[in-house]
Amino acid sequence: MKRIAIIGAGISGLFVANLFQKNKNYQISIYEKKDSIDLNKGYGIQLSSNCIKLLNKLSFNTLDKDEVFNPTVINFFQTNKEIKICDLDITKFNDEDCKYSSLKRSTLSKFLVEKLDSHVIKFNHEITEINNTDHKISLNFKQGDVVNCDYLIIADGVFSKCKSLLSSNKIKPKFNNSIAIRGLIDSEHLPKAKRDNVSISMGSNFHYVVYPVDNKGQKTNFIGILKEKLTQDQLSNYKFFDQGSYLNSIKEKLKNKISINILENLQDLKIFPVFVSEEFYKSEKNIFCLGDAFFAYPPSFAQGASQSIESAFELYKDIIDEKNNFYNNRIIKSKRVNLRSKLNQFAFHISNPLLVYIRNFVLKILVKNKKFLDSYLGKVYKN
């Protein structure tokens, strides 16, 4: 029996653990530095059909229907006038049991945690050293534990400590010159056109997305991306982003970008800087990275969680089939998603009035162009 150690109890770590748990040839453990997984947060995520297809292998389609919302279109708006430009029918990428979905991140985490045996997740385990000799991997933890394993799966996020240890701190994420503004809003405070689907509102150096987080019709997720310059001191001090004065300064900047009714009714508002990957790290044999630890994308294509799950399944198949193709295949897909994420953010943030007019005109054509959609979205949404 092969032993697999997974660092990080995020979505990719939890999902890959569930896959290996069903295979009797492997023994799995997840090592999480925190003392628990927060299963109460209401912030949302979007999952495209490629991801739902894989989650259904764990019976995700049996989840309470009230916990998952299935949008049918993506609406595009211009923020300064709240004028609808066009909409994109995303049902054409759906199958009967594999539909584009939105839900609370905590709902997905809870689903994955409850599928695991109770002994799998080891909390309060912070990695300090990784040694890989003679095809055996040894892990040292801050608490003094030493763990030996045959495979190491790194899923500890964009600021992966494991990746820093293995690369001698040479590979680091880069600040994307933008901040993410995350919150929730009661659906009644949104225009009717934005209540029942995914809506993207585009503005000068800013865009925001709203979508339901369940099928109850009460709460809507809000995520905004604002271009913002920050000093190195600010970036290294995460408490800075929790300060009321900074939060108020961002609200002031948003007053001419989104409606006052939306701004004043945002709840549980959180701000954090956006970091992205610039290069891929090729680890040693039997050591693999997943999710943001593998590559962190700009948050403008709603593929973070979906790619985490998709890459976890690819790794699972690669290991059990002894293919050794995971790294090269994942790079191809990651480059494709990264390019689209960058293009989206550029298009969403255009400020020149002439370019805005051209963008809106072209967008109206592209959302109806099957060949373009099959190439731009289909290659990602269909795996």
List, run by run, the mean pLDDT of 10-residue segments along the chain (383 residues): 97 98 96 91 91 96 95 93 92 92 96 97 97 88 95 97 92 96 94 92 97 92 96 91 91 92 93 95 90 96 94 97 92 96 97 97 98 95 76
Which pLDDT belongs to residue 376? 96
Which pLDDT belongs to residue 383? 63
- Provide the β-strand partners of residue 337: none
Asked whether the beta carbons of 103 and 45 are under 8 A apart, the reply is yes
Asked whether the beta carbons of 221 and 102 are under 8 A apart, the reply is yes
* Residues 223, 300: Cα–Cα separation, whole Å: 10
Q: In whole angstroms, how far apart are CA 91 and each of 122, 164, 238, 341, 372?
A: 40, 41, 39, 21, 16
Domain extents for the chain? 2-173+277-381
Beta strands, E only, the chain: 2-7, 26-31, 44-47, 73-78, 83-89, 101-104, 121-122, 127-133, 136-141, 146-149, 151-154, 174-186, 198-203, 206-212, 219-227, 267-276, 287-289
Asked whether the beta carbons of 160 and 275 are under 8 A apart, the reply is no
Which pLDDT belongs to residue 345? 97
Asked whether the beta carbons of 367 and 86 are under 8 A apart, the reply is yes
Confidence (pTM): 0.95
Which pLDDT belongs to residue 238? 82
Residue 181: partners with Cβ closer than 8 Å, 6 or more residues away:
208, 222, 223, 224, 225, 226, 250, 254, 269, 270, 271
Helices (H), 276-325: 291-294, 304-320
* Residues 120, 100: Cα–Cα separation, whole Å: 30
Look at the domain 2-173+277-381 and name its fold: FAD/NAD(P)-binding domain (3.50.50)
Asked whether the beta carbons of 68 and 38 are under 8 A apart, the reply is no
* Residues 154, 32: Cα–Cα separation, whole Å: 11
Asked whether the beta carbons of 346 and 302 are under 8 A apart, the reply is no
Which pLDDT belongs to residue 29? 98
